[in-house]
Amino acid sequence: MDQVDPRRLIPRTNDLLALPAVREARTRLNERVVRELVRKVQEQARRGELAPGKVEPALLAAVASLKATTLRPVLNATGVIVHTNLGRAPLSAAAVEALVAASGYVDVELDLADGSRSRRGAGARAALLAACPAAEDALVVNNGAAALVLATTALAAGREVVVSRGELVEIGAGFRLTDLMESTGAVLHEVGTTNRTHLHDYAGALGPDTGCVLKVHPSNFRVDGFTSAVPIDELSRLTAAHGIPLVADLGSGLLAPDPYLPDEPDVASALAGGADVVIASGDKLLGGPQAGLLLGRKEIISRLARHPLARAVRAGKLALAALEATVAGGLPPVVEALHADVEQLRRRTDRLAEALGVPVEAHDGRVGGGGAPGFPLPGWALRLPEGIAGRLRTGHPAVLPRVHDGVCLIDLRCVPPTDDDRILDAVRQALATLDVADAGRAG
Residue 189 domain-assigned (yes or no): yes
Residue 259 has pLDDT above 70, yes or no: yes
Same domain, 239 and 360: no
| Residues in contact with 289: Cβ distance below 8 Å, sequence separation at least 6, in sequence order | 89, 91, 95, 282, 283, 318, 319, 322, 323, 326
Q: How far is 248 from 337, CA to CA, in rounded Å?
A: 27
Choice among 51-55, 101-105, 368-372 with the minimum mean pLDDT = 368-372
Same domain, 207 and 288: yes
Same domain, 101 and 224: yes
Average pLDDT over residues 402-418: 97
CATH number, domain containing residue 398: 3.90.1150.180
Residue 420 domain-assigned (yes or no): yes
pLDDT in tens, 201-217: 999 999 999 999 999 98
Same domain, 233 and 366: no
pLDDT in tens, 213-233: 999 988 766 777 888 999 999
Same domain, 218 and 324: yes
| Distance in angstroms between the alpha carbons of the first and the last residue of the chain | 46
Q: How far is 327 from 254, CA to CA, in rounded Å?
A: 11
Name the average pLDDT for the chain: 92
Residue 1 domain-assigned (yes or no): no
Same domain, 79 and 46: no
pLDDT in tens, 263-289: 899 999 999 999 999 999 999 999 999
Same domain, 47 and 188: no
Same domain, 121 and 200: yes
Same domain, 314 and 383: no
Burial (CB < 10 A; 0-12, 13-18, 19+), residue 273, is buried
Same domain, 56 and 143: no
pLDDT in tens, 323-354: 999 999 999 999 999 999 999 999 999 999 99
Q: Which domain holds residue 404?
A: 74-83+336-442
Residue 443 has pLDDT above 70, yes or no: no
Same domain, 10 and 103: no
Decide which of 278, 298, 329 is a domain's last residue. 329
